[in-house]
Structure 1
Amino acid sequence: MHALELSILLHRALEARVEHLSGLLADPAWQQDPEGLHQVRVGSRRLRSVLDLVRPELYPGFRRQGRRLRGLTRALGLTRELDVHSAWLERLAVPGLATGSALEHALEVLEAKRGKARRAMARDLERISLKRLPDLLKVPSLPDPFVPGNLAGDVWEALDPRLEAAFSPLPGLLDREDPPALHAARIRVKRFRYALEVLGAAFQAPPEARLRQLKELQTALGEHHAADGRVPLVLVTSIEAEVGVVAVESHGQAGRGAEGQPVPEPVRIA
């Protein structure tokens, strides 16, 4: 038996997210557009957040479609990461900042890596067969499968463990710097936010303020995690090793550009 009200709410959320993601995928230019790729990746995660809440036995091919969506998210991951790092390095090219040839070489090698990643991504996407995503909305005909439910109780039962997972580790992060733990906390907060987006339709008033606060917390965790600059620095170091460029002398000028302009902070990977 399945609670009728919650099942209807979740199916409507599935319909909206499948339609949104299918619309993004219909744009022939999305794979080459960094922002378009980012939106598809976010759309795949939002759709997966609904799949985490529905009853699998209600949907034929549920597991197959879940694997397809996970494959989509993974296929876009490296390309998105390289797009973000490329944007960050391009922002370092502040007029008047003496970076030598290191930045130019880094961007050249990074561009080659991005091209290779996009070609691999295209092969992965062809194998995933995203045109079958609307099949997810097919619901089987079950004999008397639904019963009236307590929507408020069902929603809280779904939210409570995600709320606990998102917030219980946060106080411990105040004691010491732990970038991996910050990243993991950000992911848990994001998952809770996505679940609240779905289940918020059951609230008397949409939880828009809470969603904004969760987004701000997620952003703060991401920016703090990236503040030490280690992610882009590791990337630049590996690229420099490939092209035989050492930028130690230019690294000492980091922090301020021409006329005291601040060098951009690392870009958060969404």
Structure 2
Amino acid sequence: MITTASSDPKLFGYWAYLAIEKHFQRTVQYETDVLKDKDPEALHQMRVGMRRLRTVVSGFAPALVLPKAAREKKIAKVARRLGQLRDLDIMQDALQNQYLPTLPNSEQKIGKKVLATLEKRRHQVLVQVQKTLKDKPYQEMKRAFQDWLQTPTYGIFAEFPIDQILPDLLLPFVSQFFLHPAWLMGVHFSDGQKQLAQDLSLEDVVELFSVQGSVLHSLRKQAKRVRYQMELFTDFYETPYQDYVKEIKSIQRILGQIQDSFVLAEFLSHCLNSDIKKKLPTLVEQLSGDRYQLWQEWRSLQERYLHPQTRKELRLIVIHPVESATYT
């Protein structure tokens, strides 16, 4: 264990400290507004901050010796609680502003009742979030990071040149991303060649979602992990690397919107305790149409990321970071 902070920007420990300081401070700055429920954007930013802090703790793990209260599992518990409230905000916004205005009057009346139920549920979860942020484990986690930033302790890899260690840190995430089974959703093999099903109808896509929707959602989470990990080190790579980060963000967005659509449908079904196709046929049709459009966007990216040249290019980019960078 090393107890002195490195001031050499060529070393891994130097960047570990800067990353923790940046994302910890960006997380706690939104805490007061979240407690007051002042702005949904504050909740979103704090949730993202917690996720990024978790990624920093994981990604820089070989260079860090953190207190128990500041380890990844502690961060994850708080992030999950914030996520529950954020998911309700997303659902509420979609129903109220995107779908409800376009529905016939009969369905709007039902939708408004659902919104009232959603608001009650949101209040319950908000109370849980406020309690989490006031309780001992979260306060201990904050103090642990504050203490560490004042007197940091490092692992032996802290003195390793960062440009030499980055490929070993990033390639496992990239490989897990490439090997996710969702890439083969709707793909068939013939004589060792991949064949993507063409011109799928809405009904075909609905069937695929019903069978493999959870696998697609799992890829969304994997895309988020690899994106956050790669974003930690954009300063060490040139434009092609950053282009891949943006593209993976698009994959995450598309798959996230598909998942949000299913979550909304599930909530409606639970809330109404009936077949929503009968009570909200227009809304169900809109949800299906949105998923189909998102599926078309996904398919072009799926085809690109199944191509051997795409995979080879990203691996080669990751292997060759630049030798100097300035943290932003």
Q: If the TM-score is normalised by the length of the shorter chain, which range does it land in?
A: 0.7 to 0.9
Decide whether the 8 Å contact of 2:85 with 2:122 is kept in 1.
Answer: yes
Correspondent of 1:153 among 164, 182, 186: 164
CA deviation string 1:177-203 (max 9, x = no partner): 411111111111111111111122333
> Given the alignment of the two structures, is residue 254 of structure 1 paired with residue 288 of structure 2, yes or no?
no
> Given the alignment of the two structures, is residue 166 of structure 1 paired with residue 194 of structure 2, yes or no?
no
SS at match of 2:37: coil
CA distance in 1 between counterparts of 2:275 and 2:170 reads: 50
> Given the alignment of the two structures, is residue 116 of structure 1 paired with residue 124 of structure 2, yes or no?
yes
> Residue type matched to 2:283 in 1?
A
CA distance in 2 between counterparts of 1:40 and 1:211 reads: 21
Equivalent residue pairs, number: 256
Correspondent of 2:111 among 97, 103, 106: 103
Task: Provide the residue aligned with 1:137 in structure 2.
Answer: 149
CA distance in 2 between counterparts of 1:166 and 1:199 reads: 17
CA deviation string 1:48-102 (max 9, x = no partner): 10100224674341x3112432222022122112111111221322166221531
CA distance in 2 between counterparts of 1:78 and 1:165 reads: 26
Deviates most, 195-204 or 157-166: 195-204
Taking the TM superposition and a 5 Å limit, the aligned residue runs for 1:36-115 are 36-55=42-61, 58-61=64-67, 63-66=68-71, 67-91=73-97, 92-94=99-101, 97-98=104-105, 99=107, 101-115=109-123
Q: How many angstroms does 1:237 deviate by?
A: 1.6
Q: TM-score, normalised by structure 2?
A: 0.67
Deviates most, 31-40 or 20-29: 20-29
CA distance in 2 between counterparts of 1:167 and 1:138 reads: 39
Query: Quick one: structure 1 residues 173 and 264, their matched pair in 2 at CA, closer, same or farther if it must change by over 3 Å?
Result: closer
CA distance in 1 between counterparts of 2:241 and 2:289 reads: 34
> Given the alignment of the two structures, is residue 240 of structure 1 paired with residue 272 of structure 2, yes or no?
yes
Structure 1 unmatched ranges of 5 or more = none
Query: Quick one: structure 1 residues 255 and 249, their matched pair in 2 at CA, closer, same or farther if it must change by over 3 Å?
Result: closer
CA distance in 2 between counterparts of 1:48 and 1:39 reads: 14
Query: Quick one: structure 1 residues 191 and 154, their matched pair in 2 at CA, closer, same or farther if it must change by over 3 Å?
Result: same
Task: Provide the residue aligned with 1:221 in structure 2.
Answer: 255
Decide whether the 8 Å contact of 1:60 with 1:136 is kept in 2.
Answer: yes
CA distance in 2 between counterparts of 1:246 and 1:52 reads: 43
Task: Provide the residue aligned with 1:208 in structure 2.
Answer: 242
Give the CA RMSD over aligned residues: 3.3
